[in-house]
């Protein structure tokens, strides 16, 4: 534990020395809003300059609705800047085709790995049965990592179009056609995977848009590290901007932004359920708003059908045995209504209210380290081979969800010396959920076997549940967050978040061969609060966070639950 603490401290110091060295602070602190003495905290306020060119915002608004980064030739000429090129549809199709071609070549090069998935022949009877009956449209039985990875594949296809200046709606349409092409034609021997299409299309959209917007923000930020991070986050955008390097591209404008890196220490349970273990915690968050005039003095009351905002959150937990768990949340608001009434204040920035109500779509991933040797083998067993699985099972927790759609509300009040924010959202979810009760359930049933009785508790399970410990489910997510930020440098926040998932019956790939009647239900709730203080004259913040996590699972009538109390200490750097 002492060695881990030393490594954590060294890692934190190195992170902030490097960050402070290569990410310069703003030359004009007042550009970012809330004042604290003679300095403005970059990640405290989301405000860009008060003095803005309204015509420029109008031109950026018009360009955003037409797709791609904002900017127009006429507006750029008036401002003495650059302009947004027309959508490069042909180049987008070429790049998308090259990515698809490489994927197909790799699929057929490794076809032996997927023979187990082949169920249909290339004849009229099999293909009509595959395309037009429920026998062909099923959930597949692939490994957890393989299946949630389709969200990343969808993001890559999406950015092949999005980074070529196409609108988000056209990029989503072409991503949908790409996914259907793969499932219907490339994998013609396999079931048409419902889960793959959902994760590639609806999951790939928020991930791809978040990578596009965050990459654009970072690459337009001063400092080589920010540009490098933007290129790594979205290499396709960096490549296409390099192709267009002879054109003076107008950098995107974000009416509000907050980017934060943090590192620190966390105490809580480990994978074996042991309490008071220590971990190193690393992460970043990026919140971007692209509504011209938002968070500026003035009034807004409009419906917008383009991207309003994006959110990216990534977190890694490292223990003495390596990576213990990781979390990713990528969300976007593609359309919504914006209302604002902000007035300039002489000795302050602005005062008043703002409200955004819109639709949110997101992808969320949580996974613990797979320390069980069997779980890492990525097997492709049919359900009849469940006898090869050692009992009792020892699967670790996992959750990959596509938040299909739902309403989100964010209300902000800015007063003298403080800013208060209340946000809430709820979504309908399609998820690959780790059955939390599975290990206890198989252990209980396994211990009940006596004498010559032969009973395997996995016998009646869904194929993905028996082989990988997860199932496909529908559910709901909900969250509410409160935040107070002050000019004195003190921040406070609190949150309550929860999701619930119920298994989907009857669509397993091997539904005809197994008993698919065992219903499963899982839930996870988080209740937490944090208190932070900005070091005077710097962009570094010290933060203390406490969180309670309640995890519950139910298989048939068997219930398992676990409660974890987490205490974290972070150093944060923001801009």
The span from the CA of 196 to the CA of 146, in Å, is 10
Q: Which of the residue ranges 148-162, 397-411, 429-443, 451-465 would you say has the lowest mean pLDDT?
A: 451-465
Directed axis angle between helix 235-243 and helix 224-233, to 10°? Answer: 110
pTM for the model stands at 0.84
541-552 residues labelled b (16+ CB within 10 A) or e (exposed): bebebebebebb
**Given pLDDT bands bounded at 50, 70 and 90, which one contains residue 15?**
very low
What residues are paired with 359 via a beta bridge?
335, 407
No. of H helices and E strands in the chain? Answer: 14, 17
With both helix axes pointing from N to C terminus, report the angle between 150-162 and 89-109 in degrees, rounded to the nearest 10: 150
Q: In 3-state terms, what secondary structure has residue 291?
A: coil
Quick check: 306 pLDDT over 60?
Answer: yes
Q: What is the pLDDT of residues 175-214, one digit of tens each?
A: 999 999 999 999 888 899 999 999 999 999 999 999 999 9
Describe the chain by its helix, strand, coil percentages, rounded to 5: 35, 35, 30
**Among candidate residues 533, 395, 561, 417, the one with its CA nearest the CA of residue 464:** 395
Q: What is the mean pLDDT of the chain?
A: 80
The answer to whether residues 422 and 357 touch, using CB atoms and an 8 Å cutoff, is no
* Pairwise CA distance, residues 223 & 277, whole Å: 37
Residue 393 has pLDDT above 70, yes or no: yes
Please name which of 283, 308, 82 lies closest in space to residue 213, comparing C-alpha atoms: 308
**Long-range CB pairs of 516-521, under 8 A, 24+ apart, other chains included:** 516/462, 517/460, 518/460, 518/461, 518/462, 518/555, 518/556, 519/556, 520/433, 520/435, 520/437, 520/465, 520/471, 520/473, 520/553, 520/554, 520/555, 521/553, 521/554
User: Which token pair is 565?
Assistant: 């109390």
| Chain mean position to CA 39 | 33
Query: Which tokens is 426 given?
Result: 């709820």
Are the C-beta atoms of 217 and 288 separated by less than 8 Å? Answer: yes
In contact, 332 and 214? CB cutoff 8 Å: no
Where residue 429 falls among pLDDT bands split at 50, 70, 90?
A: very high
Determine the average pLDDT of the residues in 490-494.
96
Contact 440, 462 (CB under 8 A): no
542, 44 contact by CB (below 8 A) = no
| Local structure of residue 125 (DSSP, 8 states) | H
What tens digit of pLDDT does each residue of 330-354 get? 999 999 999 999 998 765 578 899 9
């Amino acid at each position: 534990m002492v060695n881990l603490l030393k490594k954590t401290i060294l890692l934190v110091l190195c992170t902030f020395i490097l960050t402070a060295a290569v990410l310069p602070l703003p030359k004009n602190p007042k550009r970012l809003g809330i004042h604290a003495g003679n300095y403005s905290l970059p990640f405290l306020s989301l405000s860009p300059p008060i003095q803005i060119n309204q015509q420029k915002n109008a031109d950026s608004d018009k360009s955003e609705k037409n797709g791609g980064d904002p900017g127009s030739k006429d507006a750029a000429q008036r401002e003495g800047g650059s302009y947004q090129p027309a959508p490069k549809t042909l180049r987008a199709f070429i790049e998308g085709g090259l990515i698809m071609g490489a994927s197909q070549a790799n699929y057929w090069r490794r076809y032996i790995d997927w023979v187990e998935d082949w169920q249909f022949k290339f004849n009229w009877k099999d293909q009509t049965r595959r395309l037009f009956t429920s026998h062909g449209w099923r959930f597949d039985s692939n490994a957890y990592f393989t299946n949630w990875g389709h969200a990343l594949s969808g993001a890559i296809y999406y950015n092949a179009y999005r980074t070529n200046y196409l609108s988000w709606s056209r990029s989503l349409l072409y991503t949908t056609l790409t996914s259907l092409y793969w499932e219907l034609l490339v994998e013609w021997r396999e079931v048409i995977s419902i889960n793959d299409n959902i994760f590639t299309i609806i999951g790939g959209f928020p991930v791809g848009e978040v990578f596009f917007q965050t990459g654009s923000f970072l690459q337009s930020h001063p400092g080589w590290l920010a540009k490098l991070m933007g290129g790594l986050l979205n290499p396709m955008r960096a490549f296409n901007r390099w192709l267009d390097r002879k054109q003076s591209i107008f950098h995107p404008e974000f009416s509000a932004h907050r980017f934060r890196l943090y590192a620190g220490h966390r105490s809580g349970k480990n994978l074996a359920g042991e309490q008071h273990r220590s971990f190193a915690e690393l992460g970043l968050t990026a919140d971007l708003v692209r509504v011209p005039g938002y968070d500026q003095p003035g009034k807004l009351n409009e419906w917008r059908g383009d991207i309003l905002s994006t959110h990216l959150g990534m977190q890694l937990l490292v223990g003495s045995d390596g990576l213990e768990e990781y979390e990713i949340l990528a969300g976007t608001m593609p359309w919504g209504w914006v209302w604002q009434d902000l007035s300039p204040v002489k000795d302050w920035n602005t005062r008043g209210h703002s409200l955004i109500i819109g639709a949110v779509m997101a992808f969320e991933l949580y996974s613990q380290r797979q320390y069980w040797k069997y779980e890492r083998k990525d097997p492709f067993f049919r359900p009849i081979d469940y006898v090869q699985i050692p009992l009792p099972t020892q699967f670790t927790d996992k959750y990959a969800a596509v938040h299909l759609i739902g309403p989100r509300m964010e209300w902000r009040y800015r007063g003298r010396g403080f800013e208060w924010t209340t946000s809430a959202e709820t979504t309908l979810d399609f998820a690959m959920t780790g059955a939390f009760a599975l290990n206890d359930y198989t252990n209980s049933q396994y211990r009940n076997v006596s004498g010559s009785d032969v009973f395997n508790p996995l016998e009646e399970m869904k194929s993905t549940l028996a082989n990988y410990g997860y199932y496909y489910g529908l559910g709901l997510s909900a969250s509410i967050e409160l935040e107070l930020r002050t000019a004195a440098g003190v921040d406070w926040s609190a949150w309550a978040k929860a999701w619930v998932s119920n298994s989907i019956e009857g669509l397993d790939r091997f539904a005809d061969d197994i008993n698919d009647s065992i219903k499963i239900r899982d839930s996870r709730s988080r209740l937490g609060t944090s208190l932070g203080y900005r070091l005077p004259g710097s962009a570094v913040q010290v933060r203390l966070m406490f969180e309670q996590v309640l995890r519950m699972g139910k298989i048939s009538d068997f219930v398992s639950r676990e409660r974890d109390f987490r205490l974290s200490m972070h150093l944060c750097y923001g801009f």
